Structure 1
Amino acid sequence: MTVRLIMSGAVVGQELAAEFGPLPPAFLPVGVQRLYELQLKSLEGAGPVHLVLPETFAVPEHDATRLAELGVEVVPIPEGLKLGEAVVYALNAIGAGDVPVHLLHGDTLIPGPPKDRHDVIVGAPRASEYAWAEMETDAAGRVVSLVTTPAGEDGHEDWPLAAGYFAFGSGLDLLRSLTRLRGDFIGGVNHYLQGRPVRLVEAADWLDFGHLTTFFRSRLAVTTARAFNTVRIDGLTARKSSHDTAKMRAEAHWLQAAPPPVQIYTARLLGFGLEQGRAFYETEYEFLPVLSELVVHGDLPRKPWLRIMGSLEDLLAALARVRGEGSGDAALRRLAAEKTLERLDAFERATGQSVSAPMRYAGRPCPSLVDIAEALAPAMDLASGRFECAMHGDLCFSNVLWDSRVRRIKVIDPRGAVRESPSLFGDLRYDLAKLAHSVVGRYDQIIAGRYRLDRHGGDYALQFEPVACQAWLEGALADMTVDGVGGLSEPVRAVMASLFLSMLPLHADRPDRQQAFIGNALRLWQGLDAGLKAAA
C-alpha cells in the first residue's frame, strides 16, 4: 500500500485570492474543472488518494460528491500549519504506518508522475523567478540536498527545481525527519536524504498554479493541450476559425467596427482571413479569468462582483449610445420570438420529444413549450418603438473576461449579425437577457453540471448548487437600468426564458443538458407567469 497525499491545506496567496477568492489551491478553476480533477486524472490507477484541505474550508456539495465518486478521502487539518507540520498531521490522522508516501503539492500538475517508484523526487528546469527549492544532485543522479533560492535570484543554473512531487519509500522515516526538523519541510527532506538514497526523476511536463503569472500560463498549457476544432491559442493570439465564413466575417467586423468607447471593453482584433478552406480571425490573447469560472468555481467576495457588474453596466451603456437607423423591436422579434419557435420545431424533429404536450414544474402545471414560447413574445414588448443600438449579442459570462487590475471587463465572441449581413446593431434588451441568463438563469452552472434535475415524465424540478455570489449578482442586475431598460424588467426576463428554449437543438450532443434547459425554462416561466398574472 502507498499513501498518496495532495497537499492543499492552506488557501492560495493574496494575488490568486484577489482573482478567485480564498480557495485551497487544488480547488482553483481550470476552465470548467477544478485543478484537483486534473491532478486525480494524472494519478489515475495509482490507488486511493487523500486530499488535505483546511478544516475551515466548506467543501461544496457537488465537489464532495465528485471526490467521493473518485474514491478520494478528504483529510481536514488545522490552519496555520507549516507544510511539514501539515504532512505530519495528515499522516498521523490517516494512521499510515511505515508505508511509502507520495506527496503532490496542491498547486502543481505533473502529467505522468512516477506513481510506481519510491524514493524519487520529480525535478524540472526553472520556469520563473519565484522562490523555489533547487536540487543538488551527484553524477549518478542521486539527490544530495534541497536549497531554497530566494525570489528574483538566479540560483544554480544547472540545478533542477523540485517540481512538487515527492515519493518517499518510508513513511516512518519521513515522519521522524519532519518531526526532528520541527515541521520544516525542506529541512525534513534533507534529513531524510541523509539516511536514504533518493534519485532525481525529470518531469516530462510540469505546470505550476501557485502564483498569478504561473497560474495563467499553466492554464493556457492545459487549454491548448485539448483538441479544439474552432479555437487555437498560442499565448500571444487566439485564432477562431470555422467553415461558416459569414459567421467569422460578422464577428471580425463587429470587433473592428465597434467605436472606441466600446472597443476598450473588447478583445483587440489582429486579423481576418481564409486558411485551408476555413475563415478565421485573430485577437490578442488575454491572461484573464472568465466570469463563468468565477461564478461556478470562484469564491470572490461581494465588492469585486459589484465592480464586475458595474463594468458590465458601463459596457451596455456604451453600446446603447451607438444608435442605428433600424428597429430594435424587429431585431428582438427575430432573435428571440421567431428563432425560438424555429428551434423548438428543430428540437422536436431531432429528438422526437413533443414540444406541444402540457408540462409540469415541481408538481405544478405549465403550458407546453410551444405555448410558453408564444406567451413570452407579448411580454417582450415588441412594439416599444425602440431604435436599434450596438449589441454584443452573446453577453453571457463565458464570453466575459475580468481584469481586476484595471477593474474592467473585456468581451469576446460577439454575434455580429442579426440576419445575414454583418452588423453592429441589435437590441439592448437582448444583451441584458443574455446577461440575465447567466445571473438569474444560471446557465454557466448548467454547463458545468453543477445542478440536480429530477424528472418524472413531463414533470421537472431543478436544483442548483448554492453559490455565495448569487444574491449579490441578482441584486446588482435588478438595480441596473440602461437607457431606460431595467436589468430584470419584464421584457428582459421574457427573452431570458426564451433563450433556454432556443438553445435546445444547439446541445444535441448533451441530452442531459437539453433536459436541464427545459426544466430551467419551466422554472423561469413560472416566476415570470406569476408576475404577469399579478400585473393583470
Structure 2
Amino acid sequence: MAAGGEPVRLIMSGAVVGQELAAEFGPLPPAMLPVGVQKLYELQLEALGGTRQHLVLPEGYGLTDYDRERLARAGVEVAPIPEGLRLGEAVVYALNSIGAGEGPVHILHGDTLIAEPPLHADDVIVGARRSNEYAWAEIETDASGRITVLVDTRAGEEGREHQPVAAGYFSFSSGVELLRSLTRMRGDFIAGVNHYAAGRPMRALGGGRWLDFGHLQTFFQSRLAVTTARAFNTVRIDGLTARKSSRDEAKIWAEAHWLQEAPPAVQVYCARLLGFGAEAGRSFYETEYEYLPVLSELFVHGALARQPWLRILASCEAFLRTCAQLSGGGSGDAALKALAADKTAARLEAFARETGFDIDAALSLEGRPAPSLRAIAERLVPAYDLQSGAADSVCHGDFCFSNILYDSRVRRIRAIDPRGLVGERPTLYGDVRYDLAKLAHSIVGRYDQIIAGRCRAERRGADFSIAFEPIACQPWLEAALGEMNVRGVRGRSVPVQAVTVSLFLSMIPLHADKPERQMAFIANALRLFLELDSQ
C-alpha cells in the first residue's frame, strides 16, 4: 500500500443501465440491479470490504430508506453526480466532491463484480479474458509486465483471443495524479488511464472470477454464479439445464409428473421438462434453463413502469384462465380444503411442537386485538367457500412471483416449480382460488419482500408489528389483481384473501432456520387477517 494510507474506493454507478437492461428491469443505476434477493451493490461491498467506500449514483435517483440505511451500516457514503457525464468526467466530479486528496483511489465499475479484487495493491488493473464481443479495453503490456496502453475495441470485434481486457477494477496510488490525467484527457476515462500509466507504472493482475452485469447477455450469465436454493432442495444450473434434486422423492416426482403431464396449452407457459430420475439417493428432474428475470426480482428491486407490469399480469391471468378451462372431473372444494384448511392446521401443530409457540394464545398487531393462530385458521375455513360446488382445474400450486419468469420478447410468463401434490397425492389438479391466492401472497402479502429482508417485523410479548419498504408498483398491482377474473373468481375476492392468510400461517414451520422470518410471517398473517376481518 502506498504511503497515502487507506484508499478511497468508488463504485461508479452514476448513469442508468442501457436500453436492453432497462427494458427488463427499469431505468436503474447498474449497482442497483437485482441479483436474486439482493442488489448488486450488496455483493460488491462484500467483495470490497474496508472503509472510505463511496457509491456514485445519479443525482436524480431516489434511494429507498432501506438502501440508505444498509449503506450507512456498511460505512458507505453516497456520492450523487449530475447525469450525462462521461465515465472520466464522473470520476473527476466524484473525487472532487468527496475531497479524495493525494492518497490511493480504487475504482470499481458499477456493473462489475470481482470475486477477489487485489485490495492491497496500487497502480494495478484487473485483467481477464473476454467472453463475448462487446466493447472492451484490451490491456497491452511490455516484456516486464508493465501496462503500456489500453486499447478500445468496438462491439462486434473479436479482438485478440489471448489479450486480456480491463475487467472493471482499477487502483491508483495517487488520487491527485489521476485527477490531473483525467482532466488533461478531457474526461475520457481510457485516455486518462493511459496518461496516468505513462507516468506511473501500472501492471495487470487477476482478481478471481469476473462477473459483468452491464449487458443483457452477460447479466444473466453472471447471475448464474450467485444463484441460491432453499435448504430442502438443491438446484444445479449449468447454463443449459436446471436440475432440481431432493431426498424428498414424493415432492420431486410430483413436480416432474406435473410438468410432463400438463396439457400443451398449459406447457407453453411453463418450463420445459427434459428428464427425471434418481442418482446417489436423490430424486431429480431437469428443465431447460431460461435466461429470464424472475418476478420476485422485478417486484422487490426492479423499477418497471405500469404498462410492463400490466403486460406481466395479463400473461399470468392468461395462464390461470388456460388452467381453469381444464378439469380432472374432481371437486375444487375438496382440493382447496386439503391445500388450505387441512395443510394449515397440520403446519401450525408442527410449529407449536417444534418451537413451543402457544398457537392458542390471543395475539395483537400494533395494539389491535387478534385471535390466536389456531383460532384464525379455524375462522378462515368458512371464508374459503368450500360449498361452492366448483369443479377442480389444472393447478400450478405454487404460483408466486419467485416461481414465475417473464419473457418480455414474447410477452409470456414461464412458470417453474409446480406443487404437483394435493395432500400426499400427485395430481395436476387443484383449485383456482389457491393459485390466485399464491399470486396474491406476493402482491398483497409481499412475501418476496420478507424473504429479501425488505421489511421490519418486531415482537413484544404477544404484540407484533410489521412494516414494508415502499414499492411504487405495489398499489396498482394490487388494484390490477382485484380486476383479475378467472372462472368467476376475482383476484381479491374473500376466498382468495382467506387462502392468502392461510399461506402465511402454513409456511411458518418451513423457515425454522430463520426465527426472525417466522415472526414476520406471523405478523403478516395478523395484518392480512385483520384486513379481511374488517370487511
Normalised to the residue count of structure 1, the TM-score between the two structures is 0.97
User: CA shift at 1:61, angstroms?
Assistant: 1.1
Q: Distance in 1 between matches of 2:501 and 2:404?
A: 21
Q: Distance in 1 between matches of 2:419 and 2:231?
A: 24
Deviations 1:454-481 (CA, angstroms, capped at 9, x unpaired): 3221111211000011012101100000
Q: Distance in 1 between matches of 2:35 and 2:446?
A: 19
User: CA shift at 1:438, angstroms?
Assistant: 0.5
Q: Is the 8 A contact 1:99 1:169 kept in 2?
A: yes
Structure 2 residue 273 is the aligned partner of structure 1 residue 277: no
Question: 2:3 maps to what in 1?
Answer: none
Q: Is the 8 A contact 2:30 2:111 kept in 1?
A: yes
Deviations 1:471-500 (CA, angstroms, capped at 9, x unpaired): 121011000000111111000000001111
Question: 1:36 maps to what in 2?
Answer: 41
User: CA shift at 1:228, angstroms?
Assistant: 9.1
Deviations 1:138-188 (CA, angstroms, capped at 9, x unpaired): 111111111110111122333210110111111111000101111110111
Deviations 1:16-72 (CA, angstroms, capped at 9, x unpaired): 01111111101111111111111111112x332111111111111111111111111
Q: Is the 8 A contact 2:396 2:418 kept in 1?
A: yes
- Which of 125, 129, 141 is the equivalent residue of 1:125? 129
Q: Distance in 1 between matches of 2:137 and 2:234?
A: 40
Q: Distance in 2 between matches of 1:236 and 1:298?
A: 26
Question: 2:20 maps to what in 1?
Answer: 15
Q: Is the 8 A contact 2:363 2:371 kept in 1?
A: yes
Give the percent of matched residue pairs that are identical in Structure 1 and Structure 2. 68
Q: Secondary structure at the match of 2:66?
A: helix
Question: 2:269 maps to what in 1?
Answer: 265
| Paired amino acid for 1:7 | M
Question: 1:318 maps to what in 2?
Answer: 322
Normalised to the residue count of structure 2, the TM-score between the two structures is 0.97
Q: Distance in 1 between matches of 2:303 and 2:160?
A: 38
Structure 2 residue 248 is the aligned partner of structure 1 residue 244: yes
Where do 5+ consecutive residues of structure 2 fail to align? 1-5
Structure 2 residue 359 is the aligned partner of structure 1 residue 355: yes
Q: Distance in 1 between matches of 2:206 and 2:270?
A: 41
Count of aligned positions: 530
Q: Cα RMSD over matched residues?
A: 1.3
Question: 1:436 maps to what in 2?
Answer: 440
Q: Distance in 2 between matches of 1:521 and 1:216?
A: 34
Question: 1:304 maps to what in 2?
Answer: 308
Q: Is the 8 A contact 1:498 1:521 kept in 2?
A: yes
Equivalent residues in 2 for 1:336-347, closer than 5 Å: 336-347=340-351
Q: Secondary structure at the match of 1:436?
A: helix
Question: 1:372 maps to what in 2?
Answer: 376
| Paired amino acid for 1:22 | P
| Paired amino acid for 1:24 | P
| Paired amino acid for 2:394 | A
Where do 5+ consecutive residues of structure 1 fail to align? 532-536
| Paired amino acid for 1:207 | L
Q: Secondary structure at the match of 2:422?
A: coil
Q: Distance in 1 between matches of 2:126 and 2:340?
A: 55
Q: Distance in 1 between matches of 2:35 and 2:260?
A: 30
Q: Distance in 1 between matches of 2:227 and 2:354?
A: 32
Deviations 1:290-345 (CA, angstroms, capped at 9, x unpaired): 00000001010000100000000000001001111111101101111111111111
Question: 2:99 maps to what in 1?
Answer: 95
Q: Distance in 1 between matches of 2:397 and 2:382?
A: 21
Structure 2 residue 519 is the aligned partner of structure 1 residue 515: yes
Q: Distance in 2 between matches of 1:524 and 1:392?
A: 23
Q: Distance in 2 between matches of 1:245 and 1:322?
A: 27
Q: Secondary structure at the match of 2:121?
A: coil
Structure 2 residue 27 is the aligned partner of structure 1 residue 25: no
Q: Is the 8 A contact 1:137 1:159 kept in 2?
A: no
User: CA shift at 1:372, angstroms?
Assistant: 0.8
Q: Distance in 2 between matches of 1:183 and 1:124?
A: 25
- Which of 164, 167, 178 is the equivalent residue of 2:168? 164
Structure 2 residue 259 is the aligned partner of structure 1 residue 255: yes
Runs of 4+ in 1 over 4 A off after TM superposition: 224-229
Question: 2:528 maps to what in 1?
Answer: 524
User: CA shift at 1:194, angstroms?
Assistant: 1.4
C-alpha distance 228-26 of structure 1, shift in aligned 2 (>3 A): farther
More displaced stretch, 428-437 vs 216-225 = 216-225
Q: Distance in 1 between matches of 2:425 and 2:272?
A: 22
Q: Is the 8 A contact 1:85 1:183 kept in 2?
A: yes
